[in-house]
């Protein structure tokens, strides 16, 4: 784990866990889900990965738009779906995405 992640989790206390993963990649999302299962109950899921490109929309090529959608929309939806069972199992999770 990079030193910056180690320092951040240490500052948050012994109950904090850091996972380094690319949320736009299925392998990265699987790493997050695996770490969650190993760690235990999941009471909160915060989506804090995101980005923006400053400039007019007409200057974005297709690949840039696809990368932005993958990071800002698709990955939070997929992580929410994949970790939903853990949120429900923990009981009392905020916004448990009921069907």
pLDDT of residue 17: 82
d(CA 83, CA 37): 9
Residue 78 has what pLDDT? Answer: 96
pLDDT, tens digit, 9 for 90 and up, residues 27-83: 999 999 999 999 888 888 888 889 988 999 999 999 999 999 999 999 999 999 999
Q: Does residue 98 carry a pLDDT above 60?
A: no
Per the domain annotation, does 73 fall within a domain?
A: yes
Q: Is residue 69 assigned to a domain? A: yes
Instruction: For residue 96, tell me if it sits in a domain.
Output: no
CATH number for the domain harbouring residue 47: 3.40.50.720
The residue segments making up the domain with residue 53 are 3-90
In a domain, 82, yes or no: yes
Q: How many domains does the chain have?
A: 1
Distance separating alpha carbons of residues 50 and 60, to the nearest angstrom: 17
Q: Is residue 95 one of the residues assigned to a domain?
A: no
Specify whether the backbone of 74 is left (phi greater than 0), alpha (psi in -120 to 50) or beta. alpha
The answer to the question of residue 99 being in a domain is: no
Torsion angle (degrees, nearest 10) of CA 89, 46, 73, 37: -40
SS3 90: helix
């Amino acid at each position: 784990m990079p030193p910056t992640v180690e320092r951040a989790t240490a500052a948050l206390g012994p109950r904090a866990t850091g996972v380094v993963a690319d949320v736009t990649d299925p392998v990265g999302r699987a790493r997050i889900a695996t770490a969650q299962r190993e760690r235990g109950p999941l009471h909160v899921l915060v989506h804090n990965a995101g980005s923006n490109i400053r400039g007019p929309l007409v200057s974005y090529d297709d690949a840039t738009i696809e990368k932005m959608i993958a990071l800002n929309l698709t990955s939070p939806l997929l992580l929410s779906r994949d970790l939903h069972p853990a949120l429900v199992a923990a009981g009392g999770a905020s916004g448990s995405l009921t069907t």
